[in-house]
Amino acid sequence: MKMNMFKFQFIELKYASGQGCQPEPSDGRKAAAGFGGLAGISVLAAIYLTSWYSYLLFHSVVEIFSILVSFSIFMFAWNTLPFSRKRYLAVLGIAYLFVGGFDLLHMLSYKGMGILEVDGSNHATQAWIAARYIESISLLLLPFLFQRKVDYRPFLAVYSLVSAGLFLLIFVFHVFPDCYIEGRGLTPFKVISEYVICAILIAAALVLYRRRKNVDEIMFRLLLASFALTVASEIAFTSYVSVYGPANLIGHMLKLVSSYLIYRAIIARGLLKPYKTMFRDLAESQKELQHYSRSLESRVAERTLELEERNRELRYLSGQLVNAEEKERRRIARDLHDSIGQSLSAIKLSLENAAAGFTGRLERKELQELEKIASMARTAIAEVRRIIMNLRPPLLEKGIVNTMETLCLDFVRLYPDIRIEHNLRAPEELIPEDIKVIVFRLLQESLHNIAKHSGAARVEVLLSLEEGQLRFEVADDGHGFELDSAKAPPGPTGFGLTGMRERAELSGARFRILTRQKGGTLIQAVWPVQSQDGKAATAG
């Protein structure tokens, strides 16, 4: 519905404002234009005929129309102020608020109205001159505000003060220069003021002509026509003797047409046209936004796929790196066991045999030296075995379940106050070799942290295979910790909490740590595991 509305407004603007591709005027359009002109002439003739019946009625109709135009300019400019980019129109609207106010005072104080308690026509003429000065000076100021970011508030304050001062001078203190004296007619001040106002309007037209590129062409022409009619009107107002005379009537007729042109220039072109243009631009912007939105969605989808592919490659490479590291650990452990370990064992055995064979033939001191060397060999063998255990436990060759049971038994022997319950029911043949190593490392690091930091009395270890998922869990009833602030030092594997998470996730596991103070800790890793036929592996 909104798009249809935008489309309709765009088409309406395209042909109503003279933009875009225009066809030649049809006979129907020519007829409509002729009818509009005829209607305008008829309205002017009807208003003129009211002067035959009552000049006060004629004068009131003309002034009311002029006042309505002035107040309409203000109301439209003021209410569109939050949305309009042309702030100079707000200043002009404020000016016409006070112009309309003085025109209203001029009408109410006109001779014969009997609404305001004033004598003669002097006050009405003074209000007229005040209104024309405000209007002409404002129109002269207008072109200088076209390209400026105008703050309307100082203008509102100035116009308010000036208008209040003029009102007090005319209607309260009666010190404003006289403009009309009964029986004598216009005063020199009034006549000179009319010519000064004409000069200001001509200057405004020249300035507007020099800055015509900043306004709509039709608005520019309408303003120039209005200026010209206003100048003609002011000249007519320099020659009347009676406020009901022909010169006064001609001046008001010219002012009526000038007010209409001001309405067409300011409201129809200066205020309404930008909003029609805004709807058109909004429709075009919406189309562009939809285009860019679709393009952006496509690009985001492409980048997301690329990022996912890069992440898969990174996980694959990281997994390969972990596998390569474990293979290298296995090779080094094997070399240590087969070469250095075997050599040290042979040295220890030779030293023990030598010491037994030389018993009674060597002095006690020499036997002690042999025993000391044999002890050093045993210490070296134990250290090599410890290094081999950290690099690649030989127990893993017997299976991860056996290795975990042994690790739990060794832990209980070292920490008899901590009881371990283990539930290990995962088939060895369904667990990949690389995951076995990660499970061993996670258990090793978890038990180290429990012994050093948890204060637990009971530990549960779980390794199960159900519905294609290998689940590893270590839970304790210790005092827990704040996970965000946890900085547990690495254990024998050099993992630490961060290393445990990284190793598990690089191997394809979902890893999490659940802990709270005085509520124990749960470390969990879950791997998807498939059997050899490609189906989800499940313990038999």
Q: Per-residue pLDDT tens for 64-112?
A: 999 999 999 999 888 878 776 677 888 999 999 999 999 999 999 998 8
Distances (CA, A) of 177 to 189, 191, 237: 7, 12, 17
Buried b or exposed e, range 67-89, using 16+ CB within 10 angstroms: bebbbbbbebbbebeeebebbbb
Our CA angle for 322, 324, 326, nearest 5°, is: 70
Q: How large a percentage of the chain has pLDDT more than 90? A: 31
- Same-domain check for residues 128 and 208: yes
Q: Which domain holds residue 178?
A: 54-276
> Which of 392, 417, 439 is the last residue before a domain boundary?
392
The more confidently predicted of residues 519 and 155 is 155
Residue 255 within a domain: yes
CA–CA separation, 499 and 441 (whole Å): 10
Residue 81: give its domain's CATH number.
1.20.1070
Residue 117 within a domain: yes
Q: Report the run of H or E that residue 260 belongs to, with start and end.
A: helix 246-263
- Same-domain check for residues 404 and 384: no
Q: Report the run of H or E that residue 87 belongs to, with start and end.
A: none
The closest of 442, 443, 328 to 392, measured between CA atoms, is: 328
Band of pLDDT at residue 319, cut at 50, 70 and 90: low
CA–CA separation, 411 and 444 (whole Å): 10
What would the two tokens of residue 325 be?
């590291």
Q: What is the DSSP letter of 452?
A: I
Residue 8 within a domain: no
Residue 438: give its domain's CATH number.
3.30.565.10
Residue 355 has pLDDT above 70, yes or no: no
Asked whether the beta carbons of 396 and 441 are under 8 A apart, the reply is: no
Residue 284 within a domain: no
Q: What is the pLDDT of residue 338?
A: 67
Residue 152 within a domain: yes
> Which of 343, 374, 392 is the last residue before a domain boundary?
392
Continuous H helices in 24-119:
27-53, 55-79, 88-108
Phi/psi for 446 (5° steps) reads -65, -45
> Which of 392, 412, 445 is the last residue before a domain boundary?
392
- Same-domain check for residues 425 and 520: yes
Residue 494 has pLDDT above 60, yes or no: no
- Same-domain check for residues 413 and 359: no
- Same-domain check for residues 249 and 342: no
CA–CA separation, 262 and 350 (whole Å): 121
- Same-domain check for residues 386 and 268: no
CA–CA separation, 446 and 493 (whole Å): 10
Q: What is the pLDDT of residue 38?
A: 86
Helix (H, G, I), strand (E, B) or coil at 458: strand
Residue type, 85: R
Number of domains in the chain: 3
pLDDT tens for residues 173-221? 999 999 999 888 899 999 999 999 999 999 999 999 999 888 888 889 9
Asked whether the beta carbons of 506 and 315 are under 8 A apart, the reply is: yes
- Same-domain check for residues 90 and 204: yes
- Same-domain check for residues 346 and 468: no
β-strand pairing of 180-181 with 185-186: antiparallel
The more confidently predicted of residues 143 and 284 is 143
- Same-domain check for residues 208 and 340: no
What would the two tokens of residue 422 be?
């283990």
- Same-domain check for residues 404 and 382: no
Give the side-chain half-sphere CA count within 13 A for 211. 17
- Same-domain check for residues 141 and 262: yes
Residue 7 within a domain: no
Rg (CA), the chain: 50
Residue 299 within a domain: no
Phi/psi for 124 (5° steps) reads -65, -40
Q: What is the residue-wise DSSP string for 216-242?
A: -HHHHHHHHHHHHHHHHHHHHTTS-SS
- Same-domain check for residues 360 and 229: no
CA–CA separation, 38 and 250 (whole Å): 20
Residue 42 within a domain: no
Of the listed ranges 67-76, 212-221, 257-266, 493-502, the one predicted with least confidence = 493-502
Residue 63 has pLDDT above 90, yes or no: yes
What's the average model confidence in pLDDT over 55-66? 93
CA–CA separation, 124 and 511 (whole Å): 91
Q: What is the residue-wise DSSP string for 268-312?
A: IIIIIHHHHHHHHHHHHHHHHHHHHHHHHHHHHHHHHHHHHHHHH
